[in-house]
């Protein structure tokens, strides 16, 4: 199970995380931090962490180098004995960009936020889209997971 750690704990993200956990065949307990920020804040994060001076929709900060079953044995430093979870990392979503992209793409803001969260989650789980083959795999997983819970374009 993937536990969402956010001030704005959203059942939508829990639903997406549960579907991803199941479809991707993950095992063990893990958690992910989610934060919503303004355009200025995400631009500053991009500048500080990626040396990019621009506003983007989502940023991911993975804590793990490889994905194994989420146990204390596999992740002795990332495992939280109190919560019995492995921390995957954090996802930062710019709410204003999510809203404008939803309008631009002609779907709901809920769908856009679900997509951005899932996109960030897949990055935390080692997926990427730099190479075209990897991009295809990541996009297929995104569509399979979202459509599996009834969130379509």
Question: Per residue in 17-48, pLDDT tens?
Answer: 999 999 999 999 999 999 999 999 999 999 99
Q: Indicate if the pLDDT at residue 9 is higher than 60.
A: no
Question: Per residue in 86-97, pLDDT tens?
Answer: 999 999 999 999
Note whether 15 and 149 are within 8 A (CB). Answer: yes
Question: Per residue in 104-125, pLDDT tens?
Answer: 999 999 999 999 999 999 999 9
What does the DSSP assignment read for 44-74?
HHHHHHH---S--SEEEEE--SS---B-TTT
Q: What local confidence, expressed as pLDDT, does residue 134 receive?
A: 93
Note whether 3 and 29 are within 8 A (CB). Answer: yes
CATH annotation of 2-148? 3.40.390.30
As a whole number of angstroms, the distance between CA 13 and CA 2 comes to 10
């Amino acid at each position: 199970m993937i536990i969402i750690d956010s001030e704005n704990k959203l059942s939508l993200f829990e639903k997406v995380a549960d579907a991803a956990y199941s479809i991707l065949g993950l095992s063990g307990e893990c958690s992910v931090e989610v934060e919503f920020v303004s355009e200025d804040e995400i631009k500053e994060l991009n500048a500080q962490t990626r040396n990019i001076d621009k506003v983007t929709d989502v940023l991911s900060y993975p804590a793990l180098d490889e994905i194994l079953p989420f146990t204390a044995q596999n992740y002795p430093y990332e495992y939280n004995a109190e919560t019995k979870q492995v921390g995957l990392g954090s996802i930062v979503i710019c709410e204003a960009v999510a809203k404008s992209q939803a309008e631009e793409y002609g779907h709901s803001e809920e769908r856009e936020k679900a997509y951005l969260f899932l996109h960030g989650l897949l990055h935390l789980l080692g997926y990427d889209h730099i190479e075209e083959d990897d991009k295809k795999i990541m996009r297929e997983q995104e569509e399979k997971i979202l459509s599996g819970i009834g969130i379509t374009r």
